[in-house]
Amino acid sequence: MKLFEYQAKKLLAKYGVPIPRGSVATTPEQAEEIASDLGQAVVLKGQVHSGGRGKAGAVKIAKSPEQARQIAADLIGKTLFFAQAGAHLRVDTLLLEEALPIKQEIYVAITQDRASQRDVLIVSTMGGMDIELVAHENPEAISKTVIDPLLGLTDYAARDALFDAGFEKTLAGKAAGLLKGLYAAYVGTDATLAEINPLVITEEGALIAGDAKWLIDDNAIFRQPEIAALATGEDDDPIEVEARRRGIQYVRLEGGEIGIIGNGAGLVMTTMDEVKRAGGTPADFLDIGGGAKAESVRSSLEIVLSDPNVKGVLFNIFGGITRGDEVAKGIIEGLSTLNVKVPIVVRLSGTRAEEGAALLAGASIVAAQTMQEAAQQVVALANKARKS
C-alpha cells in the first residue's frame, strides 16, 4: 500500500522527524486560507501516487495567499502525466507547506535488500533527483548500510553512513538522530520503503523532510489499523480495501465473472488459467494461504461475492497444511450466512479432502474431482445462470 506524501509526513512527525508546517487543501479557498495562516511563501504539491511531481508540474511555489489560490484553482481537478508512474493522474488534493530556504538536498531511505535479506539505509548527498539516475551515473555518491535487525539502526552505524556519504561532523550528528527516527517509523509501520527525497538542509542549517514516499507491506496491514483506515482513497477498489482490512490476499480483476478462491499463489494462478481455457474470465485472485481456518474461508467467500460481476465461484483447494474439512466448514458457514445467488463449484484434494467432501455432501454446491473439470463446470453453470 502506498501512502500519500502528507500521510507519510504525519507518520514521520509522530516519530520525531521534522516536517515543514502545512496542511492539505481540496479547494482554492482552502489553499488561500492555509497560505494566509502560514504567513509566508508556500509550496503547493499535488498529492498523487507518483514521484517526479516537480517535472510533471505538480509542485509550485506561491508568494502570496492570492497566488496560492490561483495555482490551486489551476491544479485541483487537473490530470497531469507523471513519467515516473507512467500514467496520467488527477490531482484532487494539494499539500501546502511553508516554502523552505533550501541550501542542499539530501537523499535518505530505508528499504529491504534482497541480497543481504536485511533492511538497508541508503544515503546520498545528491538528493532532489531521481535516485535510480544517481545510482546509474554516480554510484559512488550513494552509501548503502545494512541494518542489523537485532541492534536496529545504531547511532554509530547511522553516523558512519553519513560520513561515508560525505557529511561533515556536526551535520552528521544531527542527521543521525533523524535517521533513527526514520528507522523507527519504518519498523513501526511495517514499511517496505521509507524515503525522504529531498531531506532539506536549510540556509539556517536545520534538517527538514521536504518530501516523503512510503510503502507499507500489504501482508502486515492487518496489524496497522490506523494505516489501513487511510486506504480509502478514490483510486482504491472498495472491495480490495475491505479485503485488506480483513487480512485477505485479494486482487479484483476487471471485467471478470468467475470468482476464484484457492490456497497458494501458484495454484490460484493456475486455476485462473484453467478458467480462461474453459472459456471464462476470472473476476479475482484470492489466496486463502496455508492453514486457513473456516472463518477466513467464509470471509473470503463474502469478499468474492461482494463483487456484483461474479456469476460463479470456484474453490480450488489442494490441502497440505490447509485442511479440506476446515475449508468445507467455511463454505457451509458462508452458504448459511451469506445470500448466495450464484453457483459454487468446489474441488478439494489432499489433507482431509474426504472429510471435507462428506461435510459438503448435502450442501448446495457442485463438487468436482479435478481442476479442469471444476473450471469447466463453473464456467458452464455461470453461462447457464446468465441466460436464465
User: Among 211, 240, 284, 287, which residue sits at the site for Mn ion (rule: CB under 5 A)?
Assistant: 211
Judged by beta carbon, residue 39 or residue 54, the one nearer ligand GDP is: 54
User: Among 51, 256, 259, 262, which residue sits at the site for ligand GDP (rule: CB under 6 A)?
Assistant: 51
Site string for Mn ion, 152-191 (x = CB under 5 A): ----------------------------------------
Query: Residues 5, 195, 302, 326: which is the catalytic one?
Result: 195
Eight-class DSSP state of 180: H
User: Among 102, 135, 171, 335, which residue sits at the site for ligand GDP (rule: CB under 6 A)?
Assistant: 102
Span 185-214, contacts to ligand GDP by CB under 6 A: 197-198, 210-211
Q: How far is the CB of 84 from ligand GDP (least distance, A)?
A: 8
Grid cell locating 283? 473476476
User: Among 33, 36, 52, 141, which residue sits at the site for ligand GDP (rule: CB under 6 A)?
Assistant: 52
The yes or no reply on residue 256 touching ligand GDP (CB under 6 A) is no
Number of residues located near ligand GDP, criterion CB under 6 A: 16
Distances in Å between the Cα of 340 and the Cα atoms of 272, 311, 330, 353 are 22, 10, 14, 23
- Distance CA(208)–CA(99), nearest Å, equals 11
Per partner kind, with CB cut-offs from 5 to 8 A, the member of Mn ion, ligand GDP, none near residue 22 is none
- Active-site annotation holds for 195: yes
Per partner kind, with CB cut-offs from 5 to 8 A, the member of Mn ion, ligand GDP, none near residue 128 is ligand GDP
CA atoms within 13 A on the CB side of 106: 25
Grid cell locating 317? 483447494
What is the chain's Cα-based Rg? 26
CB neighbours (10 Å) of residue 170? 9
Judged by beta carbon, residue 19 or residue 158, the one nearer ligand GDP is: 19
Pairing of strands 42-46, 79-82: unpaired
Q: How far is the CB of 44 from ligand GDP (least distance, A)?
A: 10
Q: How far is the CB of 177 from Mn ion (least distance, A)?
A: 22
CA 316 to chain centre: 27
- Return the amino acid letter for 340: V
Judged by beta carbon, residue 97 or residue 211, the one nearer Mn ion is: 211
CB neighbours (10 Å) of residue 321? 11
User: Among 197, 300, 322, 377, which residue sits at the site for Mn ion (rule: CB under 5 A)?
Assistant: 197
Q: How far is the CB of 150 from ligand GDP (least distance, A)?
A: 33
- Distance CA(189)–CA(213), nearest Å, equals 13
Contact 243, 279 (CB under 8 A): no
Query: Residues 6, 107, 183, 186: which is the catalytic one?
Result: 107
**Torsion (CA) 233, 238, 241, 242 in degrees, nearest 10:** 140
- Active-site annotation holds for 250: no
- Distance CA(262)–CA(290), nearest Å, equals 10
SS3 370: coil
User: Among 72, 94, 100, 297, which residue sits at the site for ligand GDP (rule: CB under 6 A)?
Assistant: 100
Any residues with CB less than 8 A from the CB of 236 and at least 6 apart, and which? none
Query: Which range of residues in 51-59, 142-150, 229-237, 311-319 is near ligand GDP by CB under 6 A?
Result: 51-59
Judged by beta carbon, residue 45 or residue 244, the one nearer ligand GDP is: 45
Q: How far is the CB of 126 from Mn ion (least distance, A)?
A: 13
Burial of 373 (0-12, 13-18, 19+ CB in 10 A): middle
Grid cell 478439494 is found at 348
Q: Which residues bind Mn ion (CB under 5 A)?
A: 197, 211
Q: Which residues bind ligand GDP (CB under 6 A)?
A: 43, 45, 51-54, 59, 99-100, 102, 105, 128, 197-198, 210-211
Task: List active site positions.
Answer: 107, 195
